[in-house]
Amino acid sequence: MNATKTEATTRRLDGRKAARRILEELEERIAGLARQGLVPGLAAVLVGEDPASRLYVGSKTRTCRKLALHSRLVELPDSVTTPELLAVIGELNRDDEIDGILVQLPLPAGIDTATVQAAVHPAKDVDGFHPLNAGKLAQGRPGLVPCTPLGIVRLLERERVPVEGAHAVIVGRSNIVGKPLAQLLLAGHATVTVCHSRTRRLEEVCRSADILVAAVGRPALVGRDFLSPGVVVVDVGVNRLEDREQVRRLFGDDSPRLESFDRRGSALVGDVHPRAPRGVASAVTPVPGGVGPLTIAMLMSNTVQACESRRAASRRRPSEG
Query: Coil, helix or strand for 213?
Result: strand
Helices (H) and strands (E) in the chain, counts: 11, 11
Cα 237 to Cα 45, 79, 234, 270, distances in angstroms: 23, 29, 9, 4
pLDDT at position 288: 94
Handedness of CA 161, 164, 168, 172 (dihedral sign): positive
pTM, entire model = 0.92
Largest CA distance in the chain: 71
| pLDDT tens string 118-127 | 999 999 999 9
Alpha-carbon distance of 20 to 274, in angstroms, equals: 24
| pLDDT tens string 20-74 | 999 999 999 999 999 999 999 999 999 999 888 998 999 999 999 999 999 999 9
**What phi, psi does 267 have (nearest 5°)?**
-150, 155
Strand order across the 232-235 sheet = 11-12, 283-284, 232-235, 211-214, 167-171, 191-195
Average confidence (pLDDT) over 227-242: 96
- As a whole-number percent, the residues of the chain with pLDDT over 90 amount to 90
Alpha-carbon distance of 192 to 168, in angstroms, equals: 5
Among all residues, which ones are annotated catalytic?
Answer: 60, 104, 127
pLDDT at position 209: 98
Amino acid at 146: P
Average confidence (pLDDT) over 1-8: 45
Alpha-carbon distance of 316 to 305, in angstroms, equals: 17
- As a whole-number percent, the residues of the chain with pLDDT over 70 amount to 95
129 pLDDT higher than 80: yes
| pLDDT tens string 5-26 | 444 489 999 999 999 999 999 9
Average confidence (pLDDT) over 161-184: 98
321 pLDDT higher than 70: no
Alpha-carbon distance of 321 to 316, in angstroms, equals: 10
Handedness of CA 259, 273, 18, 266 (dihedral sign): negative
Alpha-carbon distance of 288 to 50, in angstroms, equals: 20
State the pLDDT confidence band at 316, using cuts at 50, 70 and 90: low
**What phi, psi does 45 have (nearest 5°)?**
-105, 115
Q: Which helix (H) or strand (E) holds 17?
A: helix 15-35
Strand order across the 100-103 sheet = 70-76, 41-47, 100-103
319 pLDDT higher than 60: no
Alpha-carbon distance of 315 to 45, in angstroms, equals: 29
Cα 277 to Cα 9, 18, 223, 229, 232, distances in angstroms: 11, 21, 8, 9, 9
Is the distance from CB of 63 to CB of 292 less than 8 angstroms? Answer: no
Q: How many CA atoms lie within 13 A of 211 on its CB side?
A: 33
Alpha-carbon distance of 281 to 290, in angstroms, equals: 15
Q: Which helix (H) or strand (E) holds 262?
A: helix 256-264
| pLDDT tens string 74-115 | 999 999 999 999 999 999 999 999 999 999 999 999 999 999
| pLDDT tens string 130-158 | 999 999 999 999 999 999 999 999 999 99
